[in-house]
Structure 1
C-alpha cells in the first residue's frame, strides 16, 4: 500500500548562490567574517555571540555542500590600545599578544571553526593596508586638510554636531557625548589626511538598492544616514598623538586611522593584494549594530574608491542585556563567558545564545532563562526522544528496524502524512532561515519537529504495539524507524549550532560520516518505497544522557541531601 510520498522540496534560498540539497552543480565559495575584536579588554558575551553566529553560518554552508571560509581575529592598533597598555605598565605589543591569545583560546573553547585568525599587527596585514592606501592616493581619494570637530576617543571617531548631544555626568557637569554610543566627546582641531567620502554618496545609494543589509530595520537606518550630507572622513592621526598604528606610507608623521586599518582585515584574509590569488569578491560580514556606520558607510566607500566591489551582505545583530539592564562593570552584571561554559557546557551555551538571540532587538541573558530553555529543549525534548527510542526496553535488538509501507494503519494515514510532510520540508525551511540570518527561527523549527516526533511516538506507543498482534508489531517497528530517522534529521541539521551534541546523536544512531551532510543524503527514503541503507543497521554505543538537566539552587540543595543519604539524584 504505497500511498506515502514525500513533498517536493522547492527552491533553496541562499546568501550568494542558489543551492539544491541532493543535486549536483557548480560550487561557489564565500567568505564569512566576524568583526575583528579590539584588544583593550578580554572577550565578553557580545564577542562570543558574534563568533558563534559566524561559525554557525559557516558550518551550515559546509553542511549544504558549499565551500566557505570563516575569518575572525583581533584589532590591535589605535589610541585605546595605547592607553590600555600604558595603564597596565605594558608596551602595546605585549598587551596585544596577551589579549589576542585570550580571544583565540575563548573561540577554540567555543568550537569556532575559523579558517583564518587575523591580527592587525601581522606583516601581511600591514602590506595590505599600505597597498590599499597607495591605491586610494593614486585614484585621487586622499588629500591633506585640517579637521575640526568632536572626537570620541572610545569610538575612535570624529563626529558631526548632529551626532553629539549634551548630557549631565555623575558629578553634575555638562558634557557632550556621542548620540550612538553615549561616550564622551571632545573638541579637536588637527591636520589630517582626508578621504573624499562625500563624492561616493551616489555610489553608496546605488549599492543599497541591492538590498545588502539585513535585517531590514538596519537598512533603513543606513538609508537615513545617506539622505543627509556625507562629509569627507579623516583617515589619519598625527603620530605624536597616536603612535601605535601603521604609518602613512608617504608620511610617517601620520598614523593611518585605526578603522581604515581594521576594515582592511577582510582583504588581508582574501590575500590582497597578491595578484596570483583570486581577486577580492563580495563577502558576508557579520557584525554588531554598534559598528554599523563603519561597515555600511565607510567600508563600502573605501572599496568603491579602490575599484573593488562592495560587500554582498551585512548581517547585523543587536546586543545582550542582563535582566533588562545594559551590562557594565560598575553594576556588576557582566556575564562571564567562561563561567557560562562551566555551567552549561559549550553546546548548551551556544544553543541558548543562538536560540534566544534575535538580530532585530536586544536580547536578555539571565540564568533562569538559560536553565529553563536547555532543560526543556535539550534535556527533555531532544534527549528524551533519543534515550527512549534507543533504550533496550524499546529497542532490544539495538538496531534500526525495517519500515514497510503496507504496515501503516489507515487510521494513522493523515497524521503520518502531516508529520512526514513537515519533516521532509524541514531542511529547506532551516536553510531559508539560516541564509536570511534568522538562526533563532531555524532552531525553533527544529525544536518544533522534535516535539512533533515526541508526540507521535507517545500517541503510537510502540512499547505497547510490541506486545500485540503481528500487524501491531510490524507497525511498532515502523514507528521506531520513523523516530530514529527523524533523530538522524535533527542531528544532521543541528551540527552547525551544537556540533558536540549533534555528534553524540549521530554516533548513537550509528550514522557514518558520509551521511552527516545535507548534500545527496535523502531522509525517510523507506517511506517512499526506496532503499534505505539504515534498515537493519546496528546502533552505536550507548551515550548515556544526551544533556543532563540543570538544577536551580533549591534543587541542588535537595540533590546534595539525597546524595548524602545514599539516594540517586536525577
Structure 2
C-alpha cells in the first residue's frame, strides 16, 4: 500500500472517519455496508455465477493502458501524454489525469459490447434516466463510441485485496463489479431484493458516472434485473478553481469546518451553493457571508422581530383578523394589506410544492433559493407595515398588529418545516420557539392556514 499500511487496517480507518462524519453532521442512513462483510461477498459470488452461466463472462487475454489508481483499463482515445514531476514523459488518463501503464494479462472479460445497442435505446428512450441533462448527454456520447468488452477480474498476485473469482482463486473480482453489487446487497439480493430494487435511484459523483451509467446498467441487463429509475449526478467542490488535492494542500476538512461554522451552517452552505451541473468553488469567507445573510440576518432576524417581547409580550400566536387582511385585496373597507402582501402570500402558498419538486429532483439549491426569496419577502412585509409604530391603545391598530404577527409567524412555521432536512437543529429550535408541537412539524402540516 502507498500509505505503508495493511489494506484492511487502512480501510477500517477510512471507514471509521466516514462514520464519524455522518454522526457529527446529522447524516442518517438505513444501512452502512462495506465490501469486506460476508453478505456482499455472497451477493457478488451469486451475481458472477449468474453472468457466467449465461456465457456473458469468458476467459481472455487483455492488453491495453491501465490506471492503477482508477482500477481501470482505457482505450487509446482516452490516453494522453504528460510530463511527471521528475520531467519524465508519461501516459495519463484524459478523464482522471492519473498515470497509466501498458499491461497484458489473463483476465475474465464481460461481453459489454453485446449490450451497447440496448443501452443506447434505453437511455434515448428515458431522457430523465440521468440527471442533470448535461450528464445524460455525456452518457449518450459514450454510447456512440466503440464499447469494447470489459475486463472484470485482476490477477490475484497483483491484486489480492478483494473477493476471489468463484472457482478461480488466482483471480480477483474487478472492484467495480464488486462495489456496484452492494446496491443489490442492501435490498436483500439474491433472495428478497424484488420488493425494493424496481424503485432504485443512485446519487453519484461525476467522476464515477461511467461505472454507474454504462457498466452497471449493462451488468443489470445481463442479470435480467430492472435498471435504476434515475442516476443523479453531482459535480465537485474546488478550492481556488482547482481540484482538492493533498499534494496542493487545499483539502477542506468537513469536520473542522462543521466545528467552526456549526453542522447546520455547513450543511446549509454546501446545499445552498452546490450546483449539480458544474463544479463549485469553496471559500471560508463565502460561508460566513452566506450564513450571516440568509440564516442569521434574514431568517433569524425575522424570528427575533416577531417574538420580541416589545411586539409580542404574550409570546403567543396573535389572532388573524380578516377585516384587515381579507381573502382578496380591497375586499374590505378596513383592509390594510397591499398588493405586495398578497403577492407574498401567493408565493408562500406555492412554496411547499415548489420545494418538494426541487428536493425530489436533487436540485436542493433551487429549493433553498425559493425559501430564501420568501423569507426576504416576509421581512419586507414586516418592514413595510412597521408594526412597532402602531398604537396598541387603538383597538384597530392592535388588531392589525396581531394580523401582521400572525401572518409572519405562519410564514416562519412553513420555512422552519421545509428547512428540516437541511438544517435540522436550527429548524427544531425555530419551530419550538413558535410553540409548534413535535407531531405538527411534518410535511402534512405545512399548508398555509390562517388560524
- TM-score (normalised: structure 2): 0.95
The corresponding residue for 1:456 is 381
- Partner residue of 1:381 out of 292, 295, 298: 298
The corresponding residue for 1:28 is none
Cα distance between partner residues in 1 of 2:393 and 2:273: 44
The corresponding residue for 1:337 is 254
Q: Is 1:501 paired with 2:426? A: yes
RMSD: 1.4
Q: Is 1:512 paired with 2:446? A: no
- Asked if 1 retains the 8 angstrom alpha-carbon contact of 2:239 and 2:250, the reply is yes
- Partner residue of 1:155 out of 64, 67, 70: 70
Long gaps (5+) in structure 1: 1-82, 527-531, 533-570
- Asked if 1 retains the 8 angstrom alpha-carbon contact of 2:359 and 2:367, the reply is yes
The corresponding residue for 1:237 is 154
Q: Alpha-carbon deviations, 1:55-105, whole Å to 9, x = none?
A: xxxxxxxxxxxxxxxxxxxxxxxxxxxx24xx43x3222222222111111
- Partner residue of 1:473 out of 398, 417, 423: 398
The corresponding residue for 1:97 is 12
- TM-score (normalised: structure 1): 0.76
Cα distance between partner residues in 1 of 2:314 and 2:38: 60
- Asked if 1 retains the 8 angstrom alpha-carbon contact of 2:348 and 2:448, the reply is no
- Partner residue of 1:179 out of 86, 94, 119: 94
SS at match of 1:343: helix
User: Post-superposition shift, 1:522?
Assistant: 5.0
Cα distance between partner residues in 2 of 1:338 and 1:354: 16
SS at match of 2:44: helix
- Asked if 2 retains the 8 angstrom alpha-carbon contact of 1:485 and 1:523, the reply is no
Q: Is 1:146 paired with 2:61? A: yes
Cα distance between partner residues in 1 of 2:388 and 2:252: 45
The corresponding residue for 1:166 is 81
Alignment of 1:514-533 (within 5 A): 514-519=439-444, 521-526=445-450, 532=451
Query: Closer, same or farther in 2 for the Cα pair 1:524/1:279, shift >3 Å?
Result: closer
User: Post-superposition shift, 1:420?
Assistant: 0.9
- Asked if 1 retains the 8 angstrom alpha-carbon contact of 2:417 and 2:446, the reply is no
User: Post-superposition shift, 1:439?
Assistant: 0.7
Cα distance between partner residues in 1 of 2:446 and 2:373: 20
User: Post-superposition shift, 1:138?
Assistant: 1.3
Q: Which has the higher mean CA deviation after the structures are superposed, 411-420 or 94-103?
A: 411-420
User: Post-superposition shift, 1:172?
Assistant: 2.1
Cα distance between partner residues in 2 of 1:389 and 1:132: 59
Cα distance between partner residues in 1 of 2:260 and 2:230: 35
Q: Alpha-carbon deviations, 1:319-374, whole Å to 9, x = none?
A: 11112222222222111112101110000001010011101111000111111000
The corresponding residue for 1:363 is 280
SS at match of 2:295: helix
Q: Is 1:265 paired with 2:189? A: no
- Asked if 1 retains the 8 angstrom alpha-carbon contact of 2:324 and 2:336, the reply is no
Alignment of 1:52-201 (within 5 A): 83-84=1-2, 87-88=3-4, 90-201=5-116
Cα distance between partner residues in 1 of 2:112 and 2:57: 10
Higher relative contact order (CA 8 A, sep 6+): 1
The corresponding residue for 1:304 is 221
The corresponding residue for 1:60 is none
- Asked if 1 retains the 8 angstrom alpha-carbon contact of 2:187 and 2:193, the reply is no
Q: Alpha-carbon deviations, 1:528-552, whole Å to 9, x = none?
A: xxxx3xxxxxxxxxxxxxxxxxxxx
